[in-house]
Amino acid sequence: MSAYDDLMAFQRETEALGQVAGRLGWDQETMMPEGAAPQRAEEHAAMANVLHARRIDPRIGDWLDTAKASTDVAKANLRHIRRSYERTAKVPAELAAEIAKTTSLAHRIWAKARGDEDVAAYLPILSKVVALRQEEADALAQGGDRYDALLDDYEPGATGTEIAAMFSALRPRLVALRAAVLDKPKPQGLSGTFDEAPQLALSTKLALAFGYDLDKGRIDKAVHPFSSGSGIDVRITTRTNPADPFNCFYSTIHEVGHAAYEQNIDEAYLLTPLGNGVSMGVHESQSRIYENQIGRSRAFTGWLYGQMRDAFGDFGIANEDAFYACVNSVNDGFIRTEADEMQYNLHVLMRFDLERALVSGDLAVGDLEAAWNDRFQADFGYAVDKPSNGILQDVHWSEGLMGYFPTYTLGNVYAGCLNEAMTAAVPDLQSDLARGDTSAATSWLRENVQTHGGLYEPKEVITRAIGKAPSEAPLLDYLEAKFSDIYKL
Amino acid sequence: MSAYDDLMAFQRETEALGQVAGRLGWDQETMMPEGAAPQRAEEHAAMANVLHARRIDPRIGDWLDTAKASTDVAKANLRHIRRSYERTAKVPAELAAEIAKTTSLAHRIWAKARGDEDVAAYLPILSKVVALRQEEADALAQGGDRYDALLDDYEPGATGTEIAAMFSALRPRLVALRAAVLDKPKPQGLSGTFDEAPQLALSTKLALAFGYDLDKGRIDKAVHPFSSGSGIDVRITTRTNPADPFNCFYSTIHEVGHAAYEQNIDEAYLLTPLGNGVSMGVHESQSRIYENQIGRSRAFTGWLYGQMRDAFGDFGIANEDAFYACVNSVNDGFIRTEADEMQYNLHVLMRFDLERALVSGDLAVGDLEAAWNDRFQADFGYAVDKPSNGILQDVHWSEGLMGYFPTYTLGNVYAGCLNEAMTAAVPDLQSDLARGDTSAATSWLRENVQTHGGLYEPKEVITRAIGKAPSEAPLLDYLEAKFSDIYKL
């Protein structure tokens, strides 16, 4: 065997073990008996140790020194393995251990502080997390930009400067659109209660309508919806709320977007570095275009209206147009995860600016709450009422995930670009969607994005799919057109 | 840290990884999407490689050389680790790999041959499996007895000679009892069909009645019932048959016996070598005493009769005595796994004699089918009608599990011994059971058997629990008394 073959065989086993560790997480959220938590913590730690030992195995360095890649696929495989290996090598083991220990503690302190509305209890450990991530960023950046070094874990190749430029173009138009929409009368809401069994039945029907393959996946309930796994075992979860079936349906469609990306990667890449979605941003572009540009379109909601009438009878919405407005209702609210597709980005933009300033050192942790509240007031027009609706609402920073937030809106930007190209390429798209048929849309996404897995760099995937460099313009145009139509602006 | 502490820390992580690998098996039988099988095979192989590498890690040998044990628990831990390490070291890696490869292939060939009723297609690969296991047994035995070396994997400390003496005492009395019972009129059978939902509801009620802890476990459906996991995450499965609810109920009680053993081990032994049931025979003693001596007793079936009447209404059995006879019905049949608690042992006895002769070389694989059929005719009084009802019915030999079969009847023998001691120690046992209250019985088993986990050698566990050396006599006395009563012999 060649060095390349040896390396790939080793890597394949690592990928398989990574899938096992991931499925352990799935089990914990869906199946694990409550009393098993202490044992499970040790099982997770043992798997993490096995995976860490493999990732720093010095044989990888030796193989990389001599492996020869003659195809694009082989080159991409080596690129992924090299990036991961060099990333691990740059961070001292003691620092990595300290970060793991501190973020684990910080997560628990954050959860309690959020329950207690006690910012002061949280800031000391957050300061420590920020300092450790700064130290890690310095080790990774080797003189380059700190924030970019962290961002690279979630969106390889992206830079804070580039994202800041994009987000600066988004912000004023989104703030103006939001203000204009909220000045108009509210659409009618749903009335009645919605039983769990028909919610779950329609949720499954929606998953299948979006091409989710139950032969390579399954749907269970969990407190927080998620997608888990790669290749031919990609599972999703959903949840139900008797007053709000949209929560179930659009969670399902969102997770199907993530899961379909994993299921539709070229099967030749199974259990190789190319066999996973290439970045958080591209992943989110798939979940968002499934959920929003397709799932919340006038055409598709027209079909969904009929499905919901069949399942639930009269729920107080008179016709498809009123239903479309109801699905796309824009309301005041403090919580990012509950926001509509327009305001969601404003929540992300402020977190990006704040965390970038934290990481650079321009913003002290002690000034974070005031900065958060000022920015929220500026963009949303009303004041944060309590910390759990403000600085304490998200889990990310306690877990050290600085650099993660911008990928949400980057995903929306990419979804906007892909939607523009897909609409041009699929002529009968709207009439298909009006029949609940997403196959032309999802096939276009599969062939132009999903199938490639990790073959190209994230931005290159989008550039190839749309035939030009991605920009925020299509997303803005789409949002302005959609909400102007619904709200008669 | 001392060598002992280092060794135990390493072992603890290995135990945790073993639990992860086990849960992967559980997932495969209960939750895994069908299309995921190829990826799952690689995940299993990767976990097996990780576990194998840890089991042969030369540091274990170094630690064992210097570790000092000052307590009984520490001594038992070292005994388990040393046995496993030395066992692995004795078998050349190439031979172990060849056995794994050959049994995997043999399993597939056996499954096809059974479907095709084609013994000739199976015997060549079985010959290879037998030859490889003989070679392994020679490596393990180092001049000692081949069969004992294989038996040691399932029942440490047991010998073929000792078991043969026990089984020779069982056989004539079981053959005679069987013949006498089958000479009598058959008890009335169940009539009607039994819906799945109430079967599963009563199955769960039975599991709880036998002390199964759902906070540390869960119950799912699977094609073949099993128990999986140790410590605080021990899961069972069951199945339903609309014509035969006893299949569901007694499968559940049987698996609860296995699971309760694992759940009730002293929690101080969690994720240590003592934190698992000590042998297949002792494990089977728990599942069998739960299922048969308790679950199929006159007293407990009286309670179950009322439960079934509540759940299903009239099912054609007039009273508790008729129900007791129905539960304990003895019928002709070829299949071991479908046999009643008496005939089951005759199935095991013949397999033990046959596999022992195979391993010693006294019986050639080419003569196996004739030997099987002759023995079946001799003990059961009628001829095997087709290979799937004879030599091809069991999976064990294709998987190389020679030495496993006798532990089933050893478990029944131990259950007989434990039942005798438990009955003497628990004064109100029958009146408790008549109310569906197994707590005194299961508490006695927990305190005298289950809590010890791997602290003592298997036979010592039973000897300590019953206050004397185990023998087949209590099982025989129990079976003769029970079936004489039911069948008016």
Q: What is the pLDDT of residues A285-315, one digit of tens each?
A: 999 999 999 999 999 999 999 999 999 999 9
**What are the phi and psi torsion angles at B271 (to 5°)?**
60, 30
Cβ–Cβ gap A24/B20 under 8 Å: yes
Across the interface, whether the CB atoms of A39 and B19 are under 8 A apart is answered yes
Measured between beta carbons, the chain B residues lying within 8 angstroms of A54 are: none
Rounded Cα gap, residues B202 and A321, in angstroms: 50
Residue of A15, A136, A155, A255 marked active site: A255
Q: Which of A13, A32, A232 sits opposite B49 (nearest CB)?
A: A13
Contacts of A264 in chain B (CB under 8 A): none
Share of residues in chain A with pLDDT > 70 (%): 100
Rounded distance, CA B126 to CA A76, Å?
45
The verdict on a CB contact (< 8 Å) between B216 and A33 is: yes
**Angle, CA of B200, B201 and B204, to the nearest 5°:** 85
Q: What is the mean pLDDT of chain B?
A: 97
pLDDT of A334 reads: 98
Q: Where are the alpha helices (H) located in B210-342, listed in sequence order? A: 245-263, 280-288, 298-312, 320-327
Are A33 and B215 in contact (CB < 8 Å)?
yes
Q: Which of A90, A122, A153 is the last residue of a domain?
A: A90
Single residue among B90, B124, B144 that ends a domain in this structure? B90
**What is the arithmetic mean of pLDDT over A181-190?**
96
Q: Does A82 lie at the interface with B, CB-CB under 8 angstroms?
A: no
Mean pLDDT of B220-231: 96
pLDDT value of position A415: 98
Task: Give residues with Cβ within 8 angstroms of A306, minimum separation 6.
Answer: none
| Model pLDDT, residue B423 | 98
Q: What pLDDT shows up at residue A5?
A: 97
DSSP H helices in A117-244: 119-141, 146-151, 160-182, 196-209
By Cβ distance, the residue of A31, A47, A214 closest to B33 is: A214
The torsion region of residue B33 among left (phi > 0), alpha (psi -120 to 50) and beta comes to beta
Residue A323 domain-assigned (yes or no): yes
Q: Which of B12, B32, B50, B276 to mutate to test the interface with A (most CBs of A within 10 A)?
A: B50
Contact A232 B39 (CB under 8 A): yes
Residue B446 scores a pLDDT above 90: yes
Chain A CB contacts of B233 below 8 Å: 32-33, 35-36, 39-40
Do the domain assignments include residue B121?
Answer: yes
Residue B285 sits in the same domain as residue B387:
yes
Residue B101 domain-assigned (yes or no): no
Q: Clarify whether residues A363 and A395 are in a common domain.
A: yes
CA distance A65 to A82: 10
A259: nearest Cα among A197, A215, A202? A215
For B274-322, write each residue's pLDDT tens digit: 999 999 999 999 999 999 999 999 999 999 999 999 999 999 999 999 9
Quote the radius of gyration of chain B (alpha carbons, Å). Answer: 23
Residue A295 is assigned to a structural domain of this protein: yes
pLDDT, average across residues A170-189? 97
Same domain, B380 and B264: yes
Q: How far apart are CA A461 and CA A274, in angstroms?
A: 13
Partners of A31 on chain B (C-beta within 8 Å) are 31, 218
Please judge whether B27 and A23 are an interchain contact, meaning their C-beta atoms are less than 8 angstroms apart: yes
Is A255 marked active-site?
A: yes
Task: Give phi and psi for A428, each to the nearest 5.
Answer: -100, 25
Tell whether the model's pLDDT for residue A428 goes beyond 90: yes
- Angstrom CA distances, A36 to A29, B27, B276, stand at 12, 16, 16
Contact A261/A276 with Cβ under 8 angstroms?
A: no
Which amino acid does the sequence have at B27? D
A79 lies in the same domain as A199: no
Please name the amino acid found at residue A214: L
List all residues 6 or more positions away from A131 whose beta carbon is below 8 Å from its beta carbon: none
User: Which of B38, B45, B232 is nearest residue A36 as measured by Cβ atoms?
Assistant: B232
Q: What is the pLDDT of residues A311-342, one digit of tens each?
A: 999 999 999 999 999 999 999 999 999 999 99
Structure tokens at B101: 């490869």
Same domain membership, residue B146 and residue B84: no
Kindly state whether residue B477 falls inside one of the protein's structural domains. yes
Confidence band (pLDDT; 50, 70, 90) for A371?
Answer: very high
Tell me how crowded residue B337 is: count the other CB atoms within 10 A of its CB. 10
Contacts of A213 in chain B (CB under 8 A): 35
Predicted confidence (pLDDT) at residue B1 exceeds the cutoff of 90 = no
Q: Phi first, then psi: what are they for B262, rounded to 5°?
A: -65, -40
Out of A40, A47, A232, name the one closest to residue B233 (CB).
A40
Q: How many CB atoms lie within 10 A of CB A316?
A: 11
> CA-CA distance, B45 to B28, in Å (whole number)?
14
B14 and B138 inside one domain: no
Tokens 């540009």 belong to: A293
Count CB-CB contacts under 10 A for residue B36: 25
pTM of the entire predicted model: 0.94
- Between A and B, how many residue pairs show a Cβ–Cβ distance under 8 A? 102
pLDDT of A229 higher than 90: yes
Give CA angle at A185 (A182, A186), nearest 5°: 80
CA A256 to CA A254: how far, in whole Å? 5
Q: Are residue A83 and residue A164 in the same domain, yes or no?
A: no
B103 domain-assigned: no
Q: Do B8 and B124 fall within a single domain?
A: no
Judged by CB atoms closer than 8 Å, whether chains meet at B233 and A24 is answered as no
Based on the fold, state whether residues A84 and A134 are members of the same structural domain. Answer: no
B29 touches chain A (CB under 8 A): no
Q: In what order do the strands lie in the sheet with B219-221?
A: B219-221, B235-238, B227-228
| Inter-residue contact B156 to B211 (CB < 8 Å) | no
The number of CA neighbours under 13 Å toward the Cβ of B122 is 25
Amino acid present at B481: A
Q: Containing domain of residue B220, as a range?
A: 115-489
Q: Does residue A21 surpass a pLDDT of 90?
A: yes
Task: Enter the ipTM.
Answer: 0.93
Confidence of residue B260 (pLDDT cuts 50, 70, 90): very high
Residue A122 confidence (pLDDT) above 90: yes
Q: Is A18 on the interface with B (CB under 8 A)?
A: no
Residues 6+ apart with CB under 8 A from B444: B422, B425, B426
Average pLDDT over chain A reads 97
Contact B46 A213 (CB under 8 A): no
- d(CA A317, nearest CA chain B) in Å: 37
- Report d(CA A241, CA B102) in Å as an integer: 52
Q: pLDDT at residue B245 above 90?
A: yes
Q: Are A46 and B217 a contacting pair at CB < 8 A?
A: no
Of A35, A233, A270, the CB nearest to B32: A233
Q: Element (H or E) spanning A126, and its range? A: helix A119-141
Residues A301 and A450 occupy one common structural domain: yes
A113 contacts A392 by C-beta, under 8 angstroms? yes
CB-based contacts of B136, cutoff 8 Å, min separation 6: B91, B95, B96, B99, B149, B150
**B440 contact A CB<8A:** no
Q: Which residue, among B419, B464, B463, has the nearest Cα to B438 in the 3D structure? A: B419
Chain B closest CA to A278's CA: distance in Å? Answer: 20
Answer whether residue B284 is part of any domain.
Answer: yes
Report yes or no: B315 and B442 within 8 Å, Cβ to Cβ: no
- Say if B104 falls within a structural domain: no
Q: Does B53 touch chain A (CB under 8 A)?
A: no
Angle at B97 between CA B95 and CA B102, to 5 degrees: 95
Q: Are A382 and A113 in contact (CB under 8 A)?
A: no
DSSP H or E stretch at residue B314 = none
**Do the Cβ atoms of A430 and A302 come closer than 8 Å?**
no
- Rounded Cα gap, residues B391 and B463, in angstroms: 35
Please write the tens of the pLDDT for every residue from B378-402. Answer: 999 999 999 999 999 999 999 999 9
pLDDT grade for A104, boundaries at 50, 70 and 90: very high
What pLDDT score does A1 carry? 78
Provide the CB-side half-sphere exposure for A353 (13 A, CA): 16
User: Does residue A41 belong to the interface with chain B, where contact is any CB pair within 8 Å?
Assistant: no
Q: Which residues of A touch B217 (CB under 8 A)?
A: 33
Query: Which residue of A20, A46, A232 is in closest CB contact with B35?
Result: A232
Question: Are B48 and B82 in the same domain?
Answer: yes
What confidence tens digit (pLDDT) does each residue in A238-270 have? 999 999 999 999 999 999 999 999 999 999 999
Hey, are the CB atoms on B35 and A231 less than 8 Å from each other?
A: no
| Cβ–Cβ contact A201 with B under 8 A | no
Q: Do B232 and A35 touch (CB under 8 A)?
A: yes
- DSSP single-letter state for residue B235: E
Number of domains in chain B: 2
Q: Is residue B57 domain-shared with residue B128, that is, in the same domain?
A: no
CA distance B208 to chain A (A): 15
Question: Which residues in chain A have Cβ-Cβ distances shorter than 8 Å to B235?
Answer: 33
Residues on chain B touching A48 (C-beta within 8 angstroms): none
Distances from the Cα of B473 to the Cα of A310, B295, B415, angstroms:
68, 21, 11
Asked if the model's pLDDT at residue A37 lies above 90, the reply is: yes
Query: Which positions in chain A touch B268 (Cβ < 8 Å)?
Result: none
**CATH number, domain at B446?**
1.10.1370.30
* Sign of the C-alpha dihedral computed for residues B356, B357, B358 and B361 taken in this order: positive
**Contact B233/A at CB under 8 A:** yes
- A362 in contact with B at a CB cutoff of 8 Å? no
Rg value, chain A, Cα: 23
Q: How confident is the model at residue B7 (pLDDT cuts 50, 70, 90)?
A: very high
- Cβ of A16 within 8 Å of Cβ of B45? The answer is yes
Q: List, as ranges, residues 235-274 from A with C-beta within 8 Å of B.
A: 235, 270-271
Residue A413, classed as helix, strand or coil, is helix
Q: Do A47 and B217 touch (CB under 8 A)?
A: no
Q: Which two tokens stand for residue A142?
A: 């080797």
